[in-house]
A and B are shown apart, each in its own frame.
Chain A
């Protein structure tokens, strides 16, 4: 009998049916992949599985009992969100064991040494690279993710672990470490629900998969009995050619950007050039200094040394207003902190960049604004029931499209995309690749910072690898071997790193 089961679930929000007739059956001792595009209803389903929201209709059974009536049953289900949710200024041990009353910690007075000792057990079990007394903010992002997972498992009665895109900020080695831990959980009679967009991971780790699309369950299969193509078709409703390439086909034009010896807090002596019509990839491990170098070039952070030339003319550094006004835009990898204006609507988010076109004299023309915003929504196929919807209600992929559409309105010549498809479903990813290719073919120069080899290979003309803040290799994508790029990313130095 499945440990966690939902039947005939229906969940509505104003104006939208998020889930309809969804059923899911989770058995202990298995890794169950939950797949689907952004907006398919995965997050909503998770909220119902953890008891955060109640369905409008349907049953939720945990261990055979009705969880909607016995809310305490939800204690068996642990959820690890995609976004890091730790207390940054508290120690690893405290983060693992909060809330104390549910995790068996001595209730009256907390003995710090006992706490640390107990934490050590979890640190070992989850192979976390940290000491119990370290502050959460001081450890690596991938270890923070593991602390979150450890925290989820300290609950006395936990049986089912839901992981929401846990590998989005992890390198391959860290991913493998995580997978071993998940397999350990599975083998010790727990159930793991694994939400991911990465097909390779699904096949490597999963025992079975359930696919949601548009709020409905469209498929369920054992992992060994379904192909990648079938999965994609279930998720998106279409056949998407995963092998197609999105490299701009026009030969690169004149040199538009030249960076020399750029140096700043996390990067040193970065030099490269970018041409019109090309997509330049920036590869490297998490923490290699790519975002910092790009933010330094853009002006969000001020570099310590170095120069930037655009069209041969010196570029003012440390001034993002100057960069935007002169056609250089940076799309940050943290959508929530640096991208969207969280409390405002879709319209207000898009409109913030287009006042040149909508404001006559000093006042904004409502009609012009609605028209341009609606054009942007159409061009980038942003899924939203209305332009006045709060942007927080949009899926991550659609939020990203808003950010891109808005950037286009500034008529940029140089665009820096920092991990643009992080946490985004396959179909929207492909949409974004298409957008980038089109923009490059219209004459823009694009820099794509990415941690996904596949993505870099599909989309870029050239790739630069960074390691520990320094440029460690330059490649022409078509002629490059994957091993060479990987090697450059992890610090190997060889002649093959230099482009011919």
Chain B
């Protein structure tokens, strides 16, 4: 039916999701004149930066066949620890920032050790650990925000370069580095292999548990990076940081072609999925959807986006 070259373009896994994003974007432009303005694009980009970093980490784990529901809590905890160090312990801000990244890695390591060492299911373990990390968060803050984050560090969260917020640039850099790692290094292939069949990977001599640990550590690192940048942006360390990041990270990855069972998908696809969710959440507010309906509408659109991708794949199969 369609010309052959168009069909070949559609065969690319990402094409379906990307098309969905374009469609949603165009519809949004029609729904509100304020959507496609530099100011609004900035808002979207800034929110997307944080969810994006978590999504990148989550999709990495999902491709390997694991899940981490504690990434948001890790971000929140590390942000708070950073705030405490900078404000109450008077640690030099950039040093505190770096130490916090280390905390994130350690949290990731803890998750990884529980999954590999005890053979526990990662979904279940990380639900529990999310409780632990957010609980620790409350223990340290007693529920109060830590204010007066030094100005030295706020540029990281609030700065803008060529109209693009700094956190967004950091997220893009993270995406670039990890995408290269996934597509062009042996490590990346091993991650895909483990997601395909951990048993086969083991038979091949791939150090499955070691790679699992590394991925959990990377995920923890990304989460604390997001948490610290959020603190830098807000100028305060709120205990609630990170709560809203996890669900979109999983939904975005699935929309973007990462299977929950692992083995296929890409970080780029997951980011497109996260962008779809970000745009939807933005247009709902601008369009003036009643707050009571917002969650219904955003959920429904997510389902539509996933269906669009599934249907377009079936269409491609039929063409063949």
Contact = CB atoms under 8 A, between A and B. Distances in A.
Contacts of B201: 341
B203 A362 contact: no
Interface stretch (B38-46, B47-55, B145-153, B184-192): B184-192
Interface in B205-235: 205-207
B205 A355 contact: no
Contacts of A320: 202-205
Given A338-B197, A340-B197, A364-B185, A352 B204 contact: yes
Nearest to A406: B204
Contact of B203 (A14, A339, A343, A364): A339
B196 interface: yes
Contacts of B174: none
B23 interface: no
A324 B199 CA distance: 14
Which label, helix, strand, loop or mixed, suits the secondary structure of the A interface? mixed
Nearest to B186: A355
A337 B320 contact: no
Which of A330, A352, A355, A359 has the most C-beta atoms of chain B within 10 angstroms of its own C-beta? A352
B263 interface: yes
Contact of A337 (B193, B197, B264): B197
Which of B189, B203, B207 has the most C-beta atoms of chain A within 10 angstroms of its own C-beta? B203
Contact of B184 (A14, A323, A324, A363): A363
A321 interface: yes
B315 to A, nearest CB: 14
B185 A348 contact: no
Given A343-B264, A344-B263, A362-B185, A321 B197 contact: no
Given A324-B205, A352-B204, A341 B185 contact: no
A410 interface: yes
Contacts of B186: 355, 359, 364
Contacts of A364: 184-186, 189
B196 A338 contact: no
A119 interface: no
Interface string A335-351: 00111111110001001
Interface of A: 13-14, 300, 320-321, 323-325, 329-330, 332, 337-344, 348, 351-353, 355, 359, 362-364, 406, 410
Interface of B: 180, 184-186, 189-190, 192-193, 195-197, 199-207, 263-264, 320
Given A324-B204, A341-B263, A351-B189, 15 more contacts: A321-B205, A321-B206, A321-B207, A323-B205, A324-B205, A325-B205, A330-B203, A337-B199, A337-B200, A338-B200, A348-B189, A352-B189, A363-B180, A364-B185, A406-B204
